[in-house]
Structure 1
Amino acid sequence: MPARSVPNGSGFGSGLPGIILPGRRQVRNPLGPRESEVRASLAGEASADAALARHEASTPTEQSGADVVVPTVPRDLTAAAFFDVDNTMVQGASIIHFARGLAARKYLKTSDLVDFAWKQVKFRVTGRESSGDVAEGREKALAFVAGRSTAELARLGGEIYDEVIADKIWAGTRALAQMHLDAGQQVWLVTATPVELAQVIADRLGLTGALGTVAESKDGLFTGRLVGDILHGMGKAHAVRTLAVREGLNLKRCSAYSDSHNDVPMLSLVGTAVAINPDADLRELAKNRGWEIRDFRTGRKAAKIGVPTALVLGAVGGALAAVVARRKDHSV
């Protein structure tokens, strides 16, 4: 189930405290949750709903008459592993790789691609996201998908994964995921990337599934609204907690992996937290809390966030390469 359809047509659930709907005045209870907290909770629940629905639909059952594959490894029913995607499982930002593929297919303007890349550079250099950048990126992404079919986005995700992302999987992180699979545990991706693309990555890697940002859809078409918000920060923690409750997982026996200080809420939920290719803030926190640190980047000192030159060249260079490629196509 790649996207969630919301009957009331609201992108983030009408009638909840802290949500102000157009044309309706609503005063937030000062003792209640903030609007951002409500949106994060809705995003997490929507992500878990979509992920579990798709997982259950893809699991053969005796009632369906399908051949049931008996697992060769005994299942560990109460433990799982949760992996962030960008700079943890995939080198760079998956949404930028996806945007490059869309630009090559003339779905996006090259100016949009450069803008996306520049915002990622700022994030990787500072370790923090501007609320303005997040809001602008969200609006552009929603404008792009509005009216398109969920099947089309999933198809594009598969094509772009094979062309661009497959070669950017961190081998070390992939090996860690396989370690959990070999132990009979579920392995989930947890990412702000649209769930359609996140699920493609999970499928290609043979993982259990993906928790990602859920866009509202009706009759197989995107409405241009999100369910809740981008799956980020506390949203990821809500998604993991919701999935754990429904799957009967013991979070103390679970593991989580991320490169970003923004994922501390998710990392703090589980019994084993691991910093993968960490930014400066997460590296410091991991040392203070005694979390394991794994760095798969070539030349750890050169890859530190404090040296932005390589990041700028990598992110913007990829965008410019796409621009040059398109110009060559036009000149042929």
Structure 2
Amino acid sequence: MTSRVGRFRQSAAELRQSLAGEASARAASSKLRERGLDESEPSTFLESDEPGTPTDVPPDLTAAAFFDVDNTLVQGASIVHFARGLAARDYFSYRDVMEFVWAQAKFRMTGRENSEDVAQGREKALSFIAGRETDELVRLGEEIFDEFIADKIWPGTRTLAQMHLDAGQQVWLVTATPVELAQTIADRLGLTGALGTVAESVDGVFTGRLVGDILHGLGKAHAVRTLAIREGLNLKRCTAYSDSHNDVPMLSLVGTAVAINPDADLREVARVRGWEIRDYRTARKAAKIGVPTAVLLGAAGGGAAAAVRHLRR
């Protein structure tokens, strides 16, 4: 009996991902409430500021779209773009940025994250925010989005997001990026909100600890499922988009899964499961997983080249 029960027991890593997902969904729902939505009714999408967007579309209360960010909505890794912005403000060195870039390059080449790289990146990020006010990170995120991320949005993916908004559906970002930065991206694009990594804060100041863990893999699936319960969504009527095999748990939750700019493993899964595949990379061969130079530049969205020039100087 004991061994049978043991098989259903969560590992420490699974528990952290579960906590991360619940914290992310809780933060996302709270953000909606702060914006004045009626707590007695399911939350509807926030209208886009895009010109020509219909404002009289009846809300579809049970359907939503969930978009991964890195290499799905944004060219390259949003955290690398953010690090570039911090380096430009002397918060990080460009050598630190190169470490982020190299970790992302290895991930794009192999399709697998190195646990040591993840741990080092997490510790560096947490040491940066510890003791800082949450409002400071929000302000930096807004500035850095305008300078480094705005022109990195894939137009094709942006169009898909707008399609869901025009249908009256909620549109959410789901990413390992800090929730403050993810929320800024969502706000700038007129989306409903964001599910991201939640860093613990007390009285508006970061403690230097995460709630659970980085929102990733199973954590994203937990976040989407928890948010669906909170907001009255029917996951069978929802759509999810991602470029990474690591997001298969999230993609498998919804009624419609779409692979955007997929890595090799996700492309294979999509073919087997009959998921739609869309590729917005202009030079397919250059962007093919396994070509180190193209991957390195793609991982940073130009950050690698900028950092190398800076280091050479």
TM-score, with normalisation over the residues of structure 1?
A: 0.85
Are 1:234 and 2:218 an aligned pair?
yes
What does the per-residue CA deviation read over 1:285-311, in whole Å, with 9 as the maximum and x for residues that have no partner? 100000000000012222110222212
Structure 1 distance, partners of 2:94, 2:261, is 29
Who is 2:243 aligned against?
259
Are 1:84 and 2:84 an aligned pair?
no
Structure 2 distance, partners of 1:327, 1:282, is 37
Kept in 1, the 8 Å contact 2:297–2:304? The answer is no
Are 1:272 and 2:256 an aligned pair?
yes
Who is 1:14 aligned against?
none
Are 1:319 and 2:304 an aligned pair?
yes
Kept in 2, the 8 Å contact 1:114–1:320? The answer is no
Secondary structure in structure 2 of the residue aligned to 1:100 = helix
* Counterparts in 2 of 1:290 and 1:111: CA distance versus 1, 3 Å: same
- 2:180 is matched with which residue: 178, 181, 196? 196
Who is 1:247 aligned against?
231
* Counterparts in 2 of 1:131 and 1:178: CA distance versus 1, 3 Å: same
Structure 1 distance, partners of 2:311, 2:85, is 11
Kept in 2, the 8 Å contact 1:91–1:169? The answer is yes
Alignment of 1:94-243 (within 5 A): 94-243=78-227
Are 1:44 and 2:31 an aligned pair?
no
Alignment of 1:1-20 (within 5 A): none
TM-score, with normalisation over the residues of structure 2?
A: 0.90
Measured after TM superposition, the shift of residue 141 of structure 1 is 0.6
Structure 2 distance, partners of 1:43, 1:282, is 24
Kept in 2, the 8 Å contact 1:80–1:186? The answer is yes
Percent identical among aligned pairs is 75
Structure 2 distance, partners of 1:282, 1:59, is 39
RMSD over aligned CA atoms reads 2.1
Are 1:53 and 2:37 an aligned pair?
no
Secondary structure in structure 1 of the residue aligned to 2:282 = coil
What does the per-residue CA deviation read over 1:105-160, in whole Å, with 9 as the maximum and x for residues that have no partner? 00002211111110000000001001111111111110110000100000000000
- Segments of 5+ residues of structure 2 without an aligned counterpart are 1-5, 41-46, 48-53
Secondary structure in structure 1 of the residue aligned to 2:281 = coil
Amino acid at match of 1:277: N
Structure 2 distance, partners of 1:320, 1:257, is 28
Kept in 1, the 8 Å contact 2:218–2:249? The answer is yes
Structure 2 distance, partners of 1:157, 1:219, is 20
* Counterparts in 2 of 1:321 and 1:62: CA distance versus 1, 3 Å: closer
Secondary structure in structure 2 of the residue aligned to 1:157 = helix
